[in-house]
């Protein structure tokens, strides 16, 4: 984390998450067509997910289990912002009117090649977009 955003303690996008109806084809597209590389993966069947490095330490997170139906707004679930202090970032967002949808929590993503410890929190911004505060470098 380069720490250019003093308010968030890092800042910048960590990842954008989508839910794919054809998980394998979507992962192949991002890996083969765009050159992204797998950083971690977890789950099985419709509970699968993968974090692909776009090449500069930013990621796209792909979840299985999407519906094969028109999506006027696309398939984005949320976007994640890097922070060195998940709790402070969420408090600041809430003070500015965001609605907290998940309090900060330490989780271990049960991923391959091994568990990935992170601290995350979620909120809805004023226009309803879902923001995840993501504390950890996937390096």
pLDDT digits (tens, 9 = 90+) for 54-80: 988 889 999 999 888 887 777 888 988
3-state secondary structure string, the chain? CCCCECCCCECCEEEEEEECCCHHHHHHHHHHHCCCEEEEEECCHHHCEEEEECCCCCEEEEECCCCCCCCCCCCEEEEEEECCCHHHHHHHHHHCCCEEEEEEEEEEECCECCCEEEEEEEEECCCCCEEEEEECCCC
- Its pTM surpasses 0.75: no
Q: How confident is the model at residue 3 (pLDDT cuts 50, 70, 90)?
A: low
């Amino acid at each position: 984390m380069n720490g250019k955003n003093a308010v968030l303690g890092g800042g910048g996008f960590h990842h954008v998450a989508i839910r794919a109806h054809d998980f394998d084809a979507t992962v192949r597209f991002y890996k083969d067509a765009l050159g992204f590389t797998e950083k971690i993966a977890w789950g099985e069947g419709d509970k699968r997910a993968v974090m692909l490095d776009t090449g500069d330490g930013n990621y796209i997170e792909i979840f299985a289990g999407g519906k094969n139906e028109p999506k006027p707004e696309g398939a984005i679930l949320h976007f994640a912002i890097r922070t060195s202090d998940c709790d402070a970032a969420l408090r600041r967002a809430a003070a500015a009117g965001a609605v907290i949808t998940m309090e900060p929590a330490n989780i271990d993503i049960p991923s391959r090649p091994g568990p990935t410890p992170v601290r995350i929190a979620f909120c809805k911004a004023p226009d309803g977009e879902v923001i995840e505060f993501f504390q950890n470098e996937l390096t």
